[in-house]
Amino acid sequence: MRIVLLGAPGAGKGTQAESLVKKLNLPHISTGDMFRAAIKNGTALGLEAKSYMDAGKLVPDELTVGIIKERISEPDCKEGFILDGFPRNVAQAEALEVMLAEQNAPLDAALNIDVPLEKIVTRLTGRRMCKDCGTIFHIAFNPPKEEGKCDACGGALYQRSDDTVETVTNRLNVYTEQTAPVIGFYAEKGLLRDVNGDQDIDKVMIAMGEALGQQWN
Ligand code: ADP
Ligand code: ADP
Ligand code: ZN
């Protein structure tokens, strides 16, 4: 199954992807995670991406489309994948269509996790991530058992440098102007499934299953 996760920053794409990976046994491909890994490893890609990410802007399409094209041609994507954070504008959505048409492997669904924008700032500023394994927490909505420590691996939790109030405002503007139109792109193709993301994490997961025609509980 080839799935795209849509939704504003902080809507819960990464959180839901963690469960989807286990349910569907497919690779999770997050452009944000790939850029953060590149920054951590000090690669040329990371160096270039960092300034855009810190400003809350989109990394240019040439870079982003290139890394996705490489990643989805890898053998573990043969049975499908869960794309999280890509495509983030209509040009990327079109580029993805071309890539998948070349492989004769069309998308099955675009799941749009819908959360009112006024709830997003609290989600993003309270987000904490594990520096070792990337597991996502929230100080109020999904706290770790022990403060500052990852439940999955014991690693230290950190706050992303772009999860500050100032950068979040820019990211939300970018979302409204450039990313929200991608919803219409997939609606026109009959691939869009809306999921209510404004409920408990477990309930969102059940709604995701329903949107994919599966029963999870
Ligand atoms: P969030 O899940 O909070 O929206 P991500 O981890 O997906 O954040 O992305 C973090 C940053 O990485 C974005 O603000 C942007 O700068 C960059 N980025 C991620 N995916 C893309 C993409 N598909 N196109 C351009 N930039 C991207
Ligand atoms: P995205 O990948 O879309 O940017 P994340 O999955 O990283 O979003 O979630 C953003 C923050 O909101 C995290 O701190 C996460 O723990 C929290 N979160 C995710 N889903 C929910 C939910 N259904 N209710 C409350 N908080 C949530
Ligand atoms: Zn961890």
- The number of angstroms, rounded, from the C-alpha of 133 to the middle of its chain's C-alpha atoms is 16
What three-state secondary structure class fits 127?
A: strand
Query: What is the rounded distance in angstroms from the CA atom of residue 18 to the CA atom of residue 112?
Result: 16
Q: What pLDDT digit, counting tens, does each position of 46-92 carry?
A: 999 999 999 999 999 999 999 999 999 999 999 999 999 999 999 99
User: For ligand 1, is residue 53 a contact (CB within 6 Å)?
Assistant: yes
**Token digits of residue 60:** 């240019």
Query: What is the rounded distance in angstroms from the CA atom of residue 213 to the CA atom of residue 197?
Result: 17
Q: What pLDDT digit, counting tens, does each position of 199-212 carry?
A: 999 999 999 999 99
Residues whose beta carbons lie less than 5 angstroms from ion ligand 3: 130, 132-133, 135, 150, 152-153, 155
Query: What is the rounded distance in angstroms from the CA atom of residue 62 to the CA atom of residue 46?
Result: 14
Question: What pLDDT score does 208 carry?
Answer: 97
Identity at 21, one-letter amino acid code:
V
Q: What pLDDT digit, counting tens, does each position of 24-34 carry?
A: 999 999 999 99
Average model confidence (pLDDT) for the chain?
96
Identity at 32, one-letter amino acid code:
G
User: For ligand 2, is residue 193 a contact (CB within 6 Å)?
Assistant: no
What three-state secondary structure class fits 6?
A: strand
**Token digits of residue 159:** 């706050």
Backbone angles phi, psi at 143, to 5 degrees: -75, 150
Instruction: From the CA of 197, give the closest atom in ligand 2.
Output: 23
Q: What pLDDT digit, counting tens, does each position of 132-154 carry?
A: 999 999 999 999 999 999 999 99
The residue whose C-alpha atom lies closest to atom 10 belonging to ligand 1 is 32
Query: What is the rounded distance in angstroms from the CA atom of residue 172 to the CA atom of residue 154?
Result: 32
The residue whose C-alpha atom lies closest to atom 26 belonging to ligand 2 is 141
CATH 3.40.190.10 for the 2-115+166-211 domain, yes or no: no
Catalytic residue among 36, 127, 128, 193: 127
**Paired sense of beta strands 81-84 and 109-114, if any:** unpaired
Global pTM value: 0.96
